[in-house]
A = this chain, B = another copy of it.
Amino acid sequence: MTHPSAELARYVSELDIESIPQPVLRRAEELLLDTLASILAGSHGRPVLSIAAYARAMGPAEGPAQDMAARRGTSPVFAAMVNAAATHMVEQDDVHNGSVFHPAAVVFPPAIATAQALGRSGRDLLAATVAGYEAGIRIGEFLGRTHYTIFHTTGTAGTLAAAVATGRLLGLDPAQMLHALGSAGTQAAGLWEFLRDGADSKQLHTAKAAADGMMAAWLARDGFTGASRILEGPQGMAAGMSRDADPARLTDGLGTRWALLETSFKYHASCRHTHPAADALLALVTEHDLHIEDIGDVVAHVHQGAIDVLGPVVDPVSVHQSKFCMGVVLGLIARHRRAGLPEFDEALSDPAIADFRQRVSMRLDPEIDAAYPRRWIGKVTVRTRDGRSLESRVDTPKGDPDNTLSRAEIEDKALRLGCYQGAATQEEVARLIAQVWGLADCERVGWFL
């Protein structure tokens, strides 16, 4: 079989770690640390605690995989489910611009849980991570922009990414891997409708993508079969859930292009769609030394996807929802020159932010929209109280591959996230950092913390 799904399955099944360039493996370690820290920061979130309670009610009381939120052992699927819910809770995990997909939240939790349960090596975990990223990102790109207008790609493409990462650690051959893709794709789900209510579904989407993809891979190892063309077939994902799917994207540059290197670290603690404008405003207020009271109104010039996702959030009532509100995000930048976790915790009770966000609007910008999703350009126009009209533009948001974080910055971010709301101590996070930087030499992936 030579169709795109089969080619992709063969590639990720046969990928040899020796063929993966060193910078890709090092970036995979950095992404792992960013993920573990995100899990800690998210572990106290109410939706995460609900999912953890469900795991406790339905899963075994102990097991070989680590539920990092509850710091207990359980079976791999419940560890993956809870950790994936936690990863995405505080919106600080990574994003791939071209596919508008958050790979870490759905790749690492099932890969870690499976590696722990089977006693696989650090190198095996890194190879599985790379396989999951390379497949998931291409599947997200394949599904296209029309898919993303309704479906949460991290939930849908994420189910297949989780299956690939898990399948690598289970040693699936190409045929089994194709079955795993089939069983994952037919479970793929996640709708944006929840944003209108500020509901908890985002945590459910990452939790279920991780768990369902894992199930697909475990079933495939046992001989359970799936559709061979779940992605591009006439009754497959693209047929049902996209109008601009491009099968060529599924195998784009396999073996030469490393999509994992294209992911961005999140710098602000908000939806990625707010970051370009936030960076542009940060540059502007810094350059002109403006304070929140100096600003009359702000127009954020954005791509259509930002309007689709952020547009429904007109009156945020929760911390989580406020991370999807352009007005709150720009308000925090104007007020604190930061939009981190502590700033968001105070945002909704701050009258200055409530006032400011009424004066922020989004406007579709043809140039930005045409460049998206390959490039996420940020532009803002600020009218000051004293009558000036100022403009600012950022071509590459902070954290993007061309403007990435150093290992020191990543460690600093990990410390801030890991210690958020007392999830871990500074000493624990320091040990975690050392453990991750030494992962490639680790014979068996043990528990973290």
Contacts and interface: CB of A to CB of B under 8 A. Distances in A.
A188 B240 CA distance: 13
A108 interface: no
Interface residues of A, number: 64
A60 interface: yes
B186 A229 contact: no
Nearest to A240: B150
Main secondary structure of the interface of A (DSSP, over half): helix
A34 interface: no
A155 B240 CA distance: 14
Interface stretch (A87-95, A177-185, A338-346, A380-388): A177-185
A275 interface: no
Contact of A75 (B57, B215, B237, B240): B57
Contacts of A47: 224
A396 interface: no
A54 B187 contact: no
A193 interface: yes
A227 B190 contact: no
B199 A225 contact: yes
A361 interface: no
A58 B46 contact: no
A189 B189 contact: yes
Contact of A227 (B60, B191, B227): B191
B60 A218 contact: no
A56 to B, nearest CB: 10
* Copies of this chain, count: 2
Contacts of A183: 200-201, 204
Contact of A197 (B59, B205, B208, B225): B225
Contacts of A185: 191, 193
Contact of A150 (B193, B194, B196, B235): B235
Nearest to A47: B224
Interface in A47-96: 47, 50-51, 53-54, 57-61, 75-78
B75 A59 contact: yes
A207 to B, nearest CB: 9
A200 B186 contact: no
A136 interface: no
Given A201-B186, A224-B47, A235 B61 contact: no
Interface in A136-168: 149-151, 155
A405 interface: no
The 3 closest A-B pairs by CB, nearest first: A150-B240, A193-B227, A192-B235
7 contacts: A59-B75, A150-B240, A185-B191, A186-B189, A191-B240, A193-B239, A235-B312
